[in-house]
Amino acid sequence: MLKIGSVPGDDIGPEVVPEAVKVMKAAAAKVGLQIEWQENLPTGVRGHKLHGTTCPQSTWDALEKLDGWVLGPHGHDVYPKNDPTWFNPPMRKRYEMYANVKPVRSYPNIPSLHKNVDIVFLRETTEGMQAGGVVVAGSGEFRPNDDISIGMRVITRKGANRVARAAFEIAQHRLRKKVTSVHKASVYKLCCGMFAEECREVAKDFPGVELEEVLVDGFAMKLVMKPHQFDVVVTTNQFGDILTDEGAGIVGGLGLAPGLVMGEKQAMAQATHGSAPDIAGKNIANPYAMIMSGRMLMEWLGRKHNEPKAVKAAQLMDAAVEKVIAEAKHLTADLGGKASTTEMGDAIAAALPA
């Protein structure tokens, strides 16, 4: 039996995470998949209210025992100054979740800069400038005096190799079978150079997949102008953080940007968007990204644990989301509709095929 948890987080998190869980539960019921749920694990503001810390030990202990979880967005400005608020990098390192998979996809009836876009980004998430714990907890930078700030960047062969391998494994099952390695080895000859070397090394194991290399600045331009030339894109932590938001922008915004952070043993569904405190509590947040992140988690768990029912449940979620978007009757305001968060979630759950 799969063990899945939910971590609502802050602001709109407690609104969109339950919608993802709702649809995941409904899809699992359709295919007879049994899941042991551990819901509403406290973090963020709720963690402070209950335990006095951003991520209580009880939550860490619970996550250790799960196969995966749905992680909601977290705020930045509401915690005590002596408590670090951004625990995502430490969480990824703690559970060795090294690859952030972010699909960028356009829909015919959703306004976007380009149509027929279908790209999968893989961003390394345990190293680089945002590794967490490299120099001080949560960052790779420090300030020796008031006039100097120093940033540290760490790239290892292990880290580069495993995220590159994940990219090629995804690409070999896609129609175009192409991986684009994005780096800046022309300048950062050691760090980006090592990342590029490992991508080339992994490519030798996948002769049926094309490898191309593009410098990050040129890639940013090409992504805006002609995104259709890309299929699977793999890059380092900070470059990926920036480029995936750019990718979301060309297909309609962060509300259409789901994500999965995966490791060897566990994975977490994590949408790209932030906690959006300006609309929190209004029941108007778009749940698409969180629901589709849950779909990605369901598929990953199914393939990881050889559980075909989970893969089928993910396919049902895909079909339901496509139907609701195509009908355009139950979409939130950012997608051109008038539905509430719960109304859109209910519509997707109801649209699940038999």
Residue-wise pLDDT for 289-313, tens only, equals 999 999 999 999 999 999 999 999 9
On whether the pTM is more than 0.85, the answer is: yes
> Which pairing describes strands 148-151 and 141-145: parallel, antiparallel, or unpaired?
antiparallel
Q: How far apart are CA 100 and CA 94, in angstroms?
A: 15
Range 263-302 burial, b when 16+ CB lie within 10 A, else e: beebbbbbbbbebbeebbeeebbbbbbbbbbbbbbbbbbb
Task: Give the mean pLDDT of 182-209.
Answer: 97
Question: Residue 136: what pLDDT?
Answer: 41
More confident residue, 76 or 246: 246
Question: Residue 131: what pLDDT?
Answer: 56
Question: Residue 341: what pLDDT?
Answer: 98
pLDDT digits (tens, 9 = 90+) for 233-281: 999 999 999 999 999 999 999 999 999 999 999 999 999 998 999 999 9
Domain regions of the chain by residue span: 1-99+260-354, 112-251
Architecture in CATH for domain 1-99+260-354 = 3-Layer(aba) Sandwich (3.40)
Task: Give the mean pLDDT of 49-74.
Answer: 92
More confident residue, 85 or 321: 321
pLDDT digits (tens, 9 = 90+) for 13-58: 999 999 999 999 999 999 999 999 999 999 988 888 888 888 889 9
Question: Residue 134: what pLDDT?
Answer: 42
Tokens (6 digits) for 23: 């649809």
Q: What share of the chain is helix, strand, coil (3-state, %, to 5)?
A: 45, 20, 40
Task: Give the mean pLDDT of 133-144.
Answer: 59
Q: Check pLDDT > 50 for residue 118.
A: yes
Q: Check pLDDT > 60 for residue 168.
A: yes
> Do the domains 1-99+260-354 and 112-251 sit in the same CATH topology, yes or no?
yes
Give the chain's mean pLDDT.
93
Question: Residue 55: what pLDDT?
Answer: 86
Question: Residue 135: what pLDDT?
Answer: 39
Range 248-261 burial, b when 16+ CB lie within 10 A, else e: bbbbbbbbbbbbbb
Burial class (CB in 10 A: 0-12, 13-18, 19+), 65: exposed
Q: Check pLDDT > 80 for residue 220.
A: yes
Closest Cα partner for 310 from 249, 264, 267?
Answer: 267
Q: Check pLDDT > 90 for residue 189.
A: yes
Domain 112-251 falls under CATH 3.90.550.10: no
Phi then psi for 228, rounded to 5 degrees? -70, -15
What percentage of residues in the chain have a pLDDT greater than 90?
83
